[in-house]
Amino acid sequence: MTNSVKQTLRDSVKARWAALVLASLSIFGAYYFNYALSSIKPMLESVLGWNSEDFGTYTSAYAWFNVFLFMLIISGFILDKLGVRKTGLGSTIIMFLGTALNYWAVSHTFPEGSVVHIPILGDMKTQVFLSSLGFAIFGVGTEAIGITISKAVVRWFKGKEMALAMGMQMSIARLGTMLALMISLPLAKNFSVTAPILFALIVMLIGVGSFIAFSILDIKLDKSEGEVEDTVSEEDEFKISDIKYIISNLGFWYIAILCVLFYSAVFPFLFYATDLMINKYNVDPYLAGIIPGFLPLGTMFLTPLFGGIYDKFGKGATIMIVGSLILILVHSILSIPSLNTWWIATIMVLILGVGFSLVPSAMWPSVPKIIPEKQLGTAYAVIFWIQNIGLMLVPLLLGIVLNSTNPDVSPNKIVIKDAIDKAFTEVLPGQSFTDKEIHKAKEKASGAAVDSIVQYTNYVPTSIENINTENVKKEVYEDIVQNLKNTQISSDKEKAMAQVVAIGKDTAFKVIEKEKLNLRYDYFYDMLIFLILSISSLLFAFLLKIEDRKKGYGLELPNIKN
């Protein structure tokens, strides 16, 4: 007698890869917006008056609700109870709402000195708080869609090209990261500081539509398997008691801690990478995002490649060890102060891309080997929750360290910004400029003045204690006013804008250079933090390999079953 094998929709190569692409597009926008504001850090300071600690607070806000309100854990419960489709649709909508609040906060002008009092944390600038709140809401949706798609990939690719599929999913998502790093700062400079966020809103809407399309295909998969609902069978249904199995599994903890250490050595680096390229490697701000953009660009091709190798040949734990070693190499070299040539940074970012491809390509497909499928949603949620603790604390720590080790930079930038704002506000209305045009001129002139100093000057800066900042502010203001009044402004609005921006930039540049104001960040201590995280990740990669030998999880075995 011949036993027939029931064919389902997942057995169709076209169907399962179409499902993967549709699901991945729903998180593409999340990966873009995650780095949209990090790429414009210089403009947040020169245009909005933020400092590095404000920026660190903002980037850490992504994990506020996920960590303190346990939203990631709750998302895991919801996923295991309601299934992929309902959880995913809700997640994409939440991402859109968080991005919308962020856009409103950054585009809105708040009264000078406006603050919000936060218990324990103290006073926070109103704009920073509301922008951070939007980012925190966005973070809830992003992490929920992340675990949802991880479970969806397991559902569609179990016993097939699972590591390759997870690698492809990450590649599509990281295309968003690449775009954020490469185009956000040019977008902001050519249009306004809010332009990258507006672009993110549009992409988020596309993501909602994409996930709806995936859900339609996923319903067809249910029907092909004789199921009518997006649920698991009663005997396989997740139970709260299953958490005990997850948290008592030592292999699970090793892979979870490896995850938080590894990602904390990469994701926060990307938050600050554009600013690092400008300040340490003297890269033109219009091009500064291209160098870190090579990292996600490389992972788009390498992560599926390494995932395919894991599928066919195994060696998952070994792959994670090699990836951690690469991180140590890269952050060691980037932390050396004397190595400040742009091509060195480029090579290191490319090598970092290799390491960043190796570890995730093996780490995520290894989780189903350690945790049963019915507990995967919660297991991924706990891992992501632990990861979010790192993604909350590390960026905040980096911002505090950067601010405290460079106490002159942010105050000096604010002096220049305020002087240009005051001069333009006083003179430009008389030149027939609208309020919107004046605001745009302020943005461009302030940013250009700071960028010019960071990019083109190599003087030894004067300590802020030895500078009368009020006199500097007064000198910049008075010189700009005088130059604007003595210049025949063109009647052509485009030429007039270029004229006033050039006057503001060039006038401020001369005063800054004469006074030797410090406007350049030294990233040495921040890079040491990344190095420590990299070394720690290597330790837990070794511990995971040892545990695999003891328990026989099969991390060194291929994923594809013959």
Return the minimum-mean-pLDDT range out of 232-246, 294-308, 432-446, 461-475: 232-246
Return the minimum-mean-pLDDT range out of 75-79, 101-105, 148-152, 176-180: 75-79
According to DSSP, residue 522 is labeled: -
Q: How confident is the model at residue 537 (pLDDT cuts 50, 70, 90)?
A: very high
Q: How confident is the model at residue 90 (pLDDT cuts 50, 70, 90)?
A: very high
**In 3D, which of 97, 173, 102, 112 has the Cα closest to residue 135?**
102
pLDDT of residue 3: 43
**In 3D, which of 376, 377, 365, 5 has the Cα closest to residue 159?**
365
pLDDT of residue 348: 95
In tens, the pLDDT along 94-152 reads 999 999 999 999 998 888 778 888 776 678 899 999 999 999 999 999 988 988 888 88
Average pLDDT over residues 253-282: 91
pLDDT of residue 524: 96
Whether 389 has a pLDDT exceeding 50, the answer reads yes
pLDDT of residue 482: 92
**Locate tokens 């009368």: which residue?**
468
Whether 343 has a pLDDT exceeding 90, the answer reads yes
d(CA 96, CA 3): 49
Whether 319 has a pLDDT exceeding 50, the answer reads yes
Q: Which one of 234-248, 432-446, 512-526 scores highest in mean pLDDT?
A: 512-526
Whether 234 has a pLDDT exceeding 50, the answer reads no
39 vs 96, which has greater pLDDT? 96
**In 3D, which of 175, 177, 156, 178 has the Cα closest to residue 166?**
156
pLDDT of residue 237: 53
Q: How confident is the model at residue 235 (pLDDT cuts 50, 70, 90)?
A: very low
Whether 5 has a pLDDT exceeding 70, the answer reads no
Q: How confident is the model at residue 231 (pLDDT cuts 50, 70, 90)?
A: very low
Q: Report helix angle 290-313 to 162-190, nearest 10.
A: 170
Q: Which one of 52-61, 224-233, 246-255, 522-531 scores highest in mean pLDDT?
A: 522-531
> What value does the mean pLDDT of the chain take?
85
Return the minimum-mean-pLDDT range out of 119-133, 203-217, 236-250, 445-459: 236-250
CB 36 within 8 A of CB 180: yes
d(CA 477, CA 469): 12
Query: In the chain, what percentage of residues exceed pLDDT 70?
Result: 95
Average pLDDT over residues 268-295: 88
pLDDT of residue 333: 96
Query: In the chain, what percentage of residues exceed pLDDT 90?
Result: 31
336 vs 115, which has greater pLDDT? 336
pLDDT of residue 121: 65
Whether 236 has a pLDDT exceeding 60, the answer reads no
Which domains can be identified in the chain, with CATH numbers?
A: 12-228+244-406+523-551 (1.20.1250.20), 409-515 (no CATH)
**Locate tokens 């332009």: which residue?**
195
CB 246 within 8 A of CB 375: yes
Say what the pTM is: 0.79
Whether 242 has a pLDDT exceeding 80, the answer reads no
Q: How confident is the model at residue 1 (pLDDT cuts 50, 70, 90)?
A: very low
CB 57 within 8 A of CB 124: yes
